[in-house]
Amino acid sequence: MDQSNPISRRTRAITCVIPALDESVVTMRIMKFGAIAFADALRVRDTIRIIKEQHAKDPSVVVVCSALPGITDALLRAARAAAHGGEQEADIARRELWNRHRQIAEKLVTDEWEREMLFQRLAEQLKQLDRMTRAMATLGEYSARGIDAIASLGERFAALIIAVILRQSGVAAQMIDATELIVTDAHFGVARPYLDESFTKISERLLPMLQAGIIPVVTGYTGATRNGVVTTLGRGGGDYTAALIGAAVNATEVCLWTDVDGILTADPKIVPAAKPLPELSYAEAAEMATLSGSEILHLRTLMPLATRGIPLRIANVHSPEQPGTLVTALPTPTHASGAIISTRGLALIAASSSSLPTYEDAWTAELAATVTARLSHAGIETLLAHQSELDRTLMVIVRQPDATYTKEIFEQSFGKDYNVTLHPTVALVSIISAVHGTLLPSLAMYALGRAQINHIASSRSLHGAYVSFVLPDESVASAVQILHSDLGFAST
């Protein structure tokens, strides 16, 4: 650490247990493309150019693909509808899958033979989709296993098409189904990889290809159980796939290609002057991941990379010449700053008792603990929880799709003396800072107060490194703008 610089970066270690490295591994770059990179033929063309430029500089490149925008959603809708006997959604999804990929292929795959072969493979996948949705509709049965098999098709389509376009543009490339690489448990929807087995498979399968100068084009988000049953790693799981591959082969860098210039000081839609943060430590990125409810980055993506010290870059497909944000073990101290993270689409559920407490019904910590435990067992992530013994209230912030179920759990758990309320649209605005020290919460509160912005609840870290506010959705934009300018993020 530079002693002349008073700023201390939080660089506490975040690690997980991962297999030891094989000496024979070579270094390489992992490039993961999010849905936006495949939005249409023009975007795909840009993406191919980015891959080719990287490949020209550094021949060992692995590409990890997401599905096209909206495709995973359409597939999941189709699968869920089929489970309730509805086949119409499946029909819509099949058409969408076919049309969107065909349009890109018709523009970019000019070699007739390649195109013919591609269409044949896509048609086989569509038939499989058809068989699966029909089976589910006939049984009228919700099958987590069936849903994963269907949801994984989006990535397969994308990887197939990208591999063909790369080949056609003169680069040796081959589509690789991650079901061959990532071995997971059978927790469908959010399967957990067995790292030892997965790392062995990844090295065995990908290293020979790289040595032969071939770019593997891997499906993100998917894996398979030891018995070969397809699983998915959870929404946004493509980043995790890239991190796993990066850790398995000890990559030089893992780059997540998105549509923003890295991690910014605020949401650029709210603050046009928001600036990218050039460098972050793994610990700072982990804080942002958690505070954003994994919108920016998922903690599990960081773990294997932090453990191995592999840098993670977040770059923009629209401006590939920009460096984006680099997450490393020891960022440059002078690059320290902070960011405002706003997460919308949340709901607040609260229980409160208006009557004066009697001895028998006094608020107990056990009561609050039972409710939060029930939420966690139901797979509902609580982004913020707050309880007051004095007011006899418990309040939680969850994502909007979880709101109704959370309210039901509250109503079942709290007796009739409690009033359960639901605010369906709130937001969380969090500030993390490496420069304000322990004054951060007070400064932030003062800025909001001066602008007469009310917050519903707040939470802060003991050491003052971050503070979060729950706000009504309509005050988010002004709150973020005021905090961004008053706390000096605009000038860092």
Residues that bind ligand ASP (CB under 6 A): 35, 66-67, 72, 154, 220-221, 235-238
Report the alpha-carbon distance of residue 301 to residue 220 in Å, rounded: 12
237 counts as binding Mg ion under rule CB under 5 A:
no
Q: Give whichever of 238 and 441 is closer to ligand ASP, judged by the CB atom.
A: 238
143-165 burial: b if 16+ Cβ within 10 Å, else e = beebbbbbbbbbbbbbbbbbbbb
Element (H, E) at 163: helix 153-168
154 counts as binding Mg ion under rule CB under 5 A:
no
398 contact, one of Mg ion, ligand ASP, none, CB 5-8 Å limit per kind = none
Least distance to ligand ASP from the beta carbon of 158, Å? 9
Q: Give whichever of 295 and 473 is closer to Mg ion, judged by the CB atom.
A: 295
304 contact, one of Mg ion, ligand ASP, none, CB 5-8 Å limit per kind = none
Least distance to Mg ion from the beta carbon of 32, Å? 9
146 contact, one of ligand ASP, Mg ion, none, CB 5-8 Å limit per kind = none
3-state SS class at 49: helix
Report the alpha-carbon distance of residue 184 to residue 228 in Å, rounded: 9
Q: Give whichever of 177 and 279 is closer to ligand ASP, judged by the CB atom.
A: 177
Least distance to Mg ion from the beta carbon of 218, Å? 15
Instruction: Tell me the window of 107-115, 133-141, 229-237, 364-372 that interacts with Mg ion (CB under 5 A).
Output: 229-237
Q: Give whichever of 220 and 262 is closer to ligand ASP, judged by the CB atom.
A: 220
Report the alpha-carbon distance of residue 393 to residue 354 in Å, rounded: 9
237 contact, one of ligand ASP, Mg ion, none, CB 5-8 Å limit per kind = ligand ASP
CA angle 195, 199, 203 (to 5 degrees): 175
Of the candidates 126, 129, 345, 151, the residue with the CA atom closest to the CA atom of residue 233? 151
Q: Which residue has the tokens 């000019």?
A: 110
Neighbours of 53 (CB within 10 A): 12
262 contact, one of Mg ion, ligand ASP, none, CB 5-8 Å limit per kind = none
- Which one-letter amino acid corresponds to residue 444? A
Least distance to ligand ASP from the beta carbon of 70, Å? 9
236 counts as binding Mg ion under rule CB under 5 A:
yes
Interface positions, 21-50, toward Mg ion (CB under 5 A): 34
80 contact, one of ligand ASP, Mg ion, none, CB 5-8 Å limit per kind = none
Least distance to ligand ASP from the beta carbon of 468, Å? 25
Least distance to ligand ASP from the beta carbon of 485, Å? 34
Instruction: Tell me the window of 77-85, 204-212, 230-238, 356-364 that interacts with Mg ion (CB under 5 A).
Output: 230-238
Least distance to ligand ASP from the beta carbon of 331, Å? 26
Of the candidates 333, 334, 331, the residue with the CA atom closest to the CA atom of residue 312? 331
Q: Give whichever of 72 and 433 is closer to ligand ASP, judged by the CB atom.
A: 72
- Using a 10 angstrom Cβ sphere, with 0-12 exposed, 13-18 middle and 19 or more buried, the burial of residue 464 is middle
Q: Give whichever of 64 and 427 is closer to ligand ASP, judged by the CB atom.
A: 64
Least distance to Mg ion from the beta carbon of 231, Å? 18
Of the candidates 260, 288, 290, 289, the residue with the CA atom closest to the CA atom of residue 275? 260
292 contact, one of ligand ASP, Mg ion, none, CB 5-8 Å limit per kind = none
- Binding-site size for Mg ion (CB under 5 A) equals 2
Pull the structure tokens for residue 389: 């013994």
Least distance to ligand ASP from the beta carbon of 77, Å? 12
301 contact, one of Mg ion, ligand ASP, none, CB 5-8 Å limit per kind = none
Least distance to ligand ASP from the beta carbon of 217, Å? 15
Neighbours of 6 (CB within 10 A): 10
What is the Cα Rg of the chain in Å?
A: 24
Report the alpha-carbon distance of residue 238 to residue 147 in Å, rounded: 17
Q: Give whichever of 34 and 262 is closer to Mg ion, judged by the CB atom.
A: 34
Of the candidates 361, 377, 247, the residue with the CA atom closest to the CA atom of residue 308? 247
Least distance to Mg ion from the beta carbon of 34, Å? 5
Report the alpha-carbon distance of residue 353 to residue 232 in Å, rounded: 42
Q: Give whichever of 66 and 203 is closer to Mg ion, judged by the CB atom.
A: 66
**418 Cβ contact partners less than 8 Å away, ≥ 6 residues apart:** 351, 352, 353, 392
223 contact, one of ligand ASP, Mg ion, none, CB 5-8 Å limit per kind = none
Q: Which residue is nearest to ligand ASP (CB)?
A: 238
**339 Cβ contact partners less than 8 Å away, ≥ 6 residues apart:** 263, 264, 265, 266, 277, 288, 431, 432, 489
Q: Give whichever of 108 and 277 is closer to Mg ion, judged by the CB atom.
A: 277
Binding site for Mg ion (CB under 5 A): 34, 236
